[in-house]
Amino acid sequence: MGAAGAGALLLAKPGWAGSGVSAVAAQTPGLKVAGWAAELAIAPMSARTLRVSLLPLNPQEQAQPIPDDGVLVASQGGGEAPIRIRSVSAESNLACGTFELKILPQPLTVIIRDQNQAELQRLQIDMSDGSVGFLTHGAPVFGLGEGGPQLDRRGHAYSMKHGQGTPDLATNGARVPIPWLVGADGWALFFHLPFGSFDLTANEGRFRPWASGAALPLDLFLVGSHQPQEILAEYARLTGFPHMPPIWSLGYQQSHRTLANRDEVMSEARRFREDGLPCDVLIYLGTGFCPSGWNRGHGSFTFNLEVFPDPQRMFEELHKEHFKLALHVVNPPQHLQGRAADASGGSGDPDRAANYWSKHLEVFRLGVDGWWADEGDSLDPEVCLARNRMYWEGPQVERPGRRPYTLNRNGYAGMQRYGWLWSGDIDSTWEALRSQVGVGISAGLSGMPYWGTDTGGFVTTPELTGELYARWFQFSAFCPLFRSHGRTWKLRRPWQWNTGDFGPTELKGYGPNSGLPDIKELHNPQVEPICRKYLELRYGLLPYTYTLVREALTRDCPSCAPCGSTTMTIPGPCCAPTSICGGGTSSLLRSPRKAQRPEPFTYRAALGMTSGRTKGWRAPVKSPGPWILPRCLFM
């Protein structure tokens, strides 16, 4: 190739920003991105994944390393040295692992082909601002995390700002952006750095850094495969395989808001057991978003004694009935950093994870089993991830060998290693329920298998009826997260729709769509039996669910997937965000064929569990014979 080709092509030692890289020949202008001298580095991470980076050079002309932001778990490939280029004056062709590269100047373009010479991507880098153009090949594009227009991401622009400040919050929920795109024709791109936005409104997609001054380093990964499981596995090898959650987190979770007193807390728990309604987790909101929660206000770790006068004794009693307990927390430090196990050094820095976690310990040691980490919309992406990590690592310092549980509102790429995600404050409407199918699929295809919704919707509207709640309950029974929550919270209990009582309404001044259902809806005897049936089905399928969780851990198979996604060439109708099926190799979907129900079993015995958390509840004793499984399934 020579200097007439790529100008200066430098082969460095293994490593992503090795020292001692020699200067570029004087006759060839060097690469500059947004005014910064840069080096193009390309290396294979595996037979299917290629890393492409633009690294800034310091005054000594040394390439600066990619910062460790906690996102990547694999920063090096299989040992092959990166190709390093500091100037490009003419077209050049290079081999890099199993990939063939063509590099063009003006504008700097990297064309990547697989070993069969099929073009996977064409990356065109604008040297003035660091933006990157890429091909969508006229086929659907999936991924980009939670929220936003579903399911094919083309035709829209994405700011990649997370949180609930979105115009489509009522239906599509909160945004938890993941800069990971999956093309239906066999490619995927992960933009590790910098943080930026995506514009998919044209035939060519474009990534733009949020600020031109932060254009470097540019660090992205291209995956080539026509098998979705291979693509997701490559993403997991980069950002981490999903964690293994505690088995009880796969059961039903009942959330609470305004609470009157101790008796109300304990009597509700007794009702689940006395009525034989399976339930594993009781979740308690903090005071502030409701007038009387578990604590004394936002950010407080002091119990509300009107509701929890003797929290340790109450927790012991609830544990004896085989309930797990999770508490709501807000107001994290704006610049949280570090790890829960780090030595604080006595500095008392409130932004250190070790110091912030220590505030949880007195409450945690009373018997809390999990956390509901709410808010965080104003946090930077790396801070969101540090918060996710703290709630995974902190509990394990206290209780080695026990799997933690945290339900998060915000996160970032890599959060699948640490916790769960739900879709935010959506409305109680049929349109919101329909939209959540696509939102869940996008979360799964973005590497986040542990996802769910507020069953019944969060914001109660006049559209909420017993039928809508029952349908939503059925949907949630096949989502990874099976949790009921919302304002007018008692309408999220299986039995409330036949009591004639709304309970605390909690709607005053809350949004233009909020409102109570017709009081006639609260005399519906059909809702509780439907909820019971799907609770029993959920628990009867627990061994299957646990198998999917294990597959997610070892192969990053999503618990939710579009129908037909065993190959990446997905037929048009299956791209609609209304057709989904079980993920993994042991898919539950057998529609329209009939499937024999398994012989009756006790799920605790099947999983080697000892005492019964549902007070002796078993799968139905009599098999109903052949049955047709629902068409829309997540697990």
Domain boundaries, the chain: 3-239, 248-422
Q: Looking at 383-392, 462-471, 502-511, which range is the least confident one?
A: 502-511
The whole-angstrom separation of Cα 17 and Cα 7 is: 20
Whether the bond between 194 and the residue before it is cis, its omega within 30 degrees of 0, is: yes
pLDDT-above-90 percentage for the chain: 77
Question: For residue 571, what are the β-bridge partners?
Answer: none
Give me the pLDDT at residue 12, please: 35
Q: Looking at 97-111, 182-196, 500-514, which range is the least confident one?
A: 500-514
Give me the pLDDT at residue 581, please: 46
Q: Give pLDDT tens digits for 284-340.
A: 999 999 999 999 999 999 999 999 999 999 999 999 999 999 999 999 999 999 999
Its pTM stands at 0.88
Give me the pLDDT at residue 623, please: 29
HEC string of 188-207 equals EEEEEECCEEEECCCCEEEE
Q: Give pLDDT tens digits for 251-287.
A: 999 999 999 999 999 999 999 999 999 999 999 999 9
- For the domain made up of 248-422, the CATH class stated in words is alpha beta
When pLDDT is cut at 50, 70 and 90, the band that residue 343 belongs to is confident
Give me the pLDDT at residue 80, please: 83
CB atoms within 10 A of CB 596: 10
Residue 461 has pLDDT above 90, yes or no: yes
What number of CA atoms fall less than 13 Å from residue 63's CA on the CB side? Answer: 31
CA nearest neighbour of 23 among 54, 51, 62: 62
pLDDT-above-70 percentage for the chain: 82
Largest CA distance in the chain: 84
Residue 470 has pLDDT above 80, yes or no: yes
Residue 523 has pLDDT above 80, yes or no: yes
Buried b or exposed e, range 466-493, using 16+ CB within 10 angstroms: bebbbebbbbbbbbbbbbbbbbbbbbbb
Residue 399 has pLDDT above 80, yes or no: yes
Say if domain 3-239 classifies as CATH 2.60.40.1760.
yes
**Parallel, antiparallel, or unpaired for β 32-33 and 36-44?**
antiparallel
Question: For residue 560, what are the β-bridge partners?
Answer: 582
When pLDDT is cut at 50, 70 and 90, the band that residue 415 belongs to is very high
Angle at 478 between CA 477 and CA 484, to 5 degrees: 35
Question: For residue 329, what are the β-bridge partners?
Answer: 373
Q: Which two tokens stand for residue 226?
A: 């026509």
3-class secondary-structure state, position 548: helix
Whether the bond between 311 and the residue before it is cis, its omega within 30 degrees of 0, is: no
Give me the pLDDT at residue 556, please: 56
When pLDDT is cut at 50, 70 and 90, the band that residue 587 belongs to is low
The whole-angstrom separation of Cα 461 and Cα 364 is: 36
CB atoms within 10 A of CB 201: 12
Q: Give pLDDT tens digits for 2-60.
A: 333 333 333 333 344 543 333 333 346 799 999 999 999 999 999 999 999 999 999 99
When pLDDT is cut at 50, 70 and 90, the band that residue 388 belongs to is very high
* Residues written for the chain: 635
CA nearest neighbour of 485 among 425, 570, 413: 425
Give me the pLDDT at residue 70, please: 96
Quickly list DSSP for 532-545. HHHHHHHHHTHHHH
**Parallel, antiparallel, or unpaired for β 252-256 and 482-484?**
parallel
In this structure, are residues 516 and 462 in contact, taking their beta carbons and an 8 Å threshold? yes
Higher pLDDT, 564 or 458: 458
Report which listed range, 3-17, 83-97, 566-580, is most confident. Answer: 83-97
Average pLDDT of the residues of the chain:
86
**Four-residue CA torsion sign, 290, 292, 298, 299:** negative
Residue 248 has pLDDT above 90, yes or no: yes
Sequence-distant (6+) residues with CB within 8 A of 18 are: 12, 63
Q: Which two tokens stand for residue 439?
A: 């939102």
What number of CA atoms fall less than 13 Å from residue 51's CA on the CB side? Answer: 32
**Parallel, antiparallel, or unpaired for β 180-183 and 187-193?**
antiparallel
Sequence-distant (6+) residues with CB within 8 A of 308 are: 262, 265, 294, 314
Alpha-carbon radius of gyration of the chain = 26
**Four-residue CA torsion sign, 390, 392, 395, 399:** negative
Give me the pLDDT at residue 575, please: 34
What number of CA atoms fall less than 13 Å from residue 27's CA on the CB side? Answer: 6
In this structure, are residues 436 and 430 in contact, taking their beta carbons and an 8 Å threshold? no
